């Protein structure tokens, strides 16, 4: 979504923000006492960059566009250019997140294999070297900006190697874990390790949506609430100043190539619950009431998904419609196709392939299928209109295609098969069916 320019223009999304829109977003953030921290992927999760044929030669391995080859000078030049363009539109930013998580297949490219054959060279050293180069560039060009990195590539590196690398003096790591049952003790031990290595400030990273299913449509609030309660326990295990803060991540995709997971309006109640629980130090009835009042929700469901009641926060109409789809659309179609006695008994897949049905059964099946299709088509129309007020057309098209259209097409196909079966029929014997007559 960033408006990259010049030789980086090919990285722009179809509906990328304009520079003026970025400035407007930053201005609105300031008015609302929010501080924007830009993030630039510089090592892993580089799919949006390395998917392009013009840049594919910078992949660590050819079949995996997520990881950057750290050996090529062109790779670092690319990352530097991306960082500089982003920072130009974010002057005065106190932090810049440079990613560096999930650098899968690192060390498996040909250049890396040759490099690793040399004595003293390791994957850890390769990883730290690239992190250091990126962070050094950020600090050289923007001395008042501190680089942030995800911590997963650092976790298994021995303390002495981390300390000697110089990386702890350049970046602040974010310890991420999105599990509802994260290991509190293990996180406390990891924090202590990082502090011993020289990292002055540490961050935690949780999730208020995403992280529970690549195609998840509804946000399981209880899972995310438990995740934040665990992080509060982690914070209590260390010194009061051990954590600089906590970042509540909200995923929209698992990676650049995956489908959409929960939309932002759907995750707003979870975000409110998690934020308030962090601020209040826990979740109780008074916190629940506070969230309900903030969002205008009559009764907030924590342990499951509820389609009852209305809310008044911006985007709540999308939440209500998506909840209807997520809880009932596929199930209602499955019920008709797989449990309705007339469909399963007189218009089974066997009958449908042969376009054969008892004429009376059409009167039992067709009205019900038409009614179900009309009801869900109307709701789909409402949802599309609501989504179009918030999202770009490509996102609307994708979400409906993934979550709504498959079920509607199943009903449409049923009705089409009914229409064809109701037409002139071939003799029963030609269908391979018993005529009920003696030879």
8 Å CB contact between 346 and 358: yes
Bridge partners of residue 247, in order along the sequence:
205
User: 405-422 and 359-388 are packed helices; what angle lies between their axes, rounded to 10 degrees?
Assistant: 150
Cα separation, 147 vs 97, in Å, equals 6
Tokens 């599309």 belong to: 384
Cα separation, 314 vs 316, in Å, equals 6
Question: Within 13 Å of residue 318, how many CA atoms lie on the same side as its CB?
Answer: 24
8 Å CB contact between 368 and 336: yes
Count the neighbouring beta carbons within 10 Å of the beta carbon of residue 342. 18
CA 350, 354, 360, 363 dihedral sign is positive
8 Å CB contact between 397 and 384: no
| 102 noted as active-site residue | yes
CA angle 31, 33, 37 (to 5 degrees): 105
Six-digit token pair at 313? 């926060």
Q: Where are the alpha helices (DSSP H) in 304-392?
A: 316-324, 330-339, 341-346, 349-354, 359-388
User: Of 74, 102, 285, 397, which is the active-site residue?
Assistant: 102
Pairing mode of beta strands 64-68, 59-61: antiparallel
Q: Phi and psi for 51 in degrees, rounded to 5?
A: -70, -20
8 Å CB contact between 152 and 163: no
Using only C-alpha atoms, what is the Rg of the chain? Answer: 27
8 Å CB contact between 84 and 8: no
Bridge partners of residue 146, in order along the sequence:
95
- Cα–Cα distances (Å) from 103 to 65, 120, 174, 177, in that order, read 11, 21, 16, 17
Query: Mind telling me the catalytic residues?
Result: 102
């Amino acid at each position: 979504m960033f408006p990259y320019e010049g030789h980086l223009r090919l990285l722009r999304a179809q509906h990328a923000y304009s520079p003026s829109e970025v400035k407007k977003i930053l201005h609105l953030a300031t008015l609302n006492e929010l501080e924007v921290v830009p993030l630039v992927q510089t090592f892993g999760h580089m799919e949006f960059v390395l998917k392009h044929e013009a840049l594919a030669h910078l992949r660590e391995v050819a079949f995996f566009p997520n990881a950057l080859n750290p050996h090529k000078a062109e790779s670092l030049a690319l990352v530097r250019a991306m960082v500089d363009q982003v920072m130009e539109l974010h002057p005065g930013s106190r932090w810049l997140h440079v990613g560096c998580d999930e650098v899968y297949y690192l060390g498996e490219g040909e250049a890396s294999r040759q490099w690793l054959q040399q004595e003293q060279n390791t994957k850890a050293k390769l990883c730290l070297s690239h992190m250091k180069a990126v962070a050094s560039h950020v600090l050289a060009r923007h001395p008042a900006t501190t680089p942030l990195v995800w911590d997963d590539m650092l976790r298994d590196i021995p303390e002495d190697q981390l300390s000697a690398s110089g990386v702890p003096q350049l970046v602040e790591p974010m310890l991420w874990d999105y599990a509802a049952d994260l290991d509190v003790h293990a996180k406390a031990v990891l924090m202590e390790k990082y502090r011993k290595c020289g990292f002055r400030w540490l961050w935690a990273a949780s999730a208020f949506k995403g992280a529970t299913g690549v195609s998840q449509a509804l946000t399981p609030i209880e899972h995310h609430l438990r995740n934040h309660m665990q992080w509060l326990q982690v914070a209590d295990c260390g010194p009061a100043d051990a954590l600089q803060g906590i970042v509540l991540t909200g995923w929209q995709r698992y990676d650049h190539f995956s489908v959409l997971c929960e939309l932002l309006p759907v995750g707003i109640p979870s975000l409110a619950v998690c934020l308030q629980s962090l601020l209040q130090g826990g979740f109780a009835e008074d916190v629940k009431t506070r969230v309900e009042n903030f969002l205008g929700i009559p009764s907030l469901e924590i342990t499951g998904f509820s389609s009852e009641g209305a809310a008044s926060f911006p985007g709540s109409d999308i939440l209500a419609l998506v909840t209807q789809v997520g809880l009932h659309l596929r199930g209602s179609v499955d019920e008709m196709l797989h449990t309705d006695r007339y469909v399963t008994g007189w218009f089974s897949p066997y009958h449908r392939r042969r376009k054969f049905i008892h004429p009376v059964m059409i009167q039992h099946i067709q009205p019900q299928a038409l009614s179900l299709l009309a009801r869900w088509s109307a709701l789909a129309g409402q949802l599309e209109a609501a989504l179009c007020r918030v999202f770009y057309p490509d996102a609307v098209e994708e979400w409906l295609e993934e979550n709504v259209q498959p079920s509607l097409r199943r009903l449409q196909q049923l009705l089409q098969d009914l229409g064809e079966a109701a037409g002139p029929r071939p003799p029963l014997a030609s269908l391979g069916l018993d005529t009920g007559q003696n030879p």
